[in-house]
Amino acid sequence: MQKLANYISVDQNIQFGKPVFKGTRVPVQSLFWHLEKGISLNAFLEDFPGVQRKQAEAVIEWGAKRFELPEIIFDETIVG
């Protein structure tokens, strides 16, 4: 896995310094809000077309490793 900094950035002038998907103003937290509400990754990407699938998958993968989740399915849901 590449460095997370390849996919997200933090700039005090963008979204008050919250982590955003690199090259966008989309907060990374919005991805997790969508997933928490049961909204699929595909729907999130449709809602935020500036975010690349590769970026979202990398952030999810990072989170899964960080919290030691055993399995991820990217096309619709995250399962454990």
Give pLDDT, residue 3.
Answer: 83
49 belongs to a structural domain: yes
Q: Which residue range(s) make up the domain with 21? A: 4-66
32 belongs to a structural domain: yes
Tokens at residue 71, please?
A: 């399995």
Rounded mean pLDDT of 48-67? 90
Report d(CA 72, CA 50) in Å as an integer. 23
20 belongs to a structural domain: yes
Q: How confident is the model at residue 80 (pLDDT cuts 50, 70, 90)?
A: very low
Q: Is 36 left (phi over 0), alpha (psi -120 to 50) or beta?
A: alpha
Share of the chain above pLDDT 90, in %: 66
User: pTM of the full predicted structure?
Assistant: 0.78
Give pLDDT, residue 24.
Answer: 97
30 belongs to a structural domain: yes
DSSP 8: E
Q: How many domains does the chain have?
A: 1
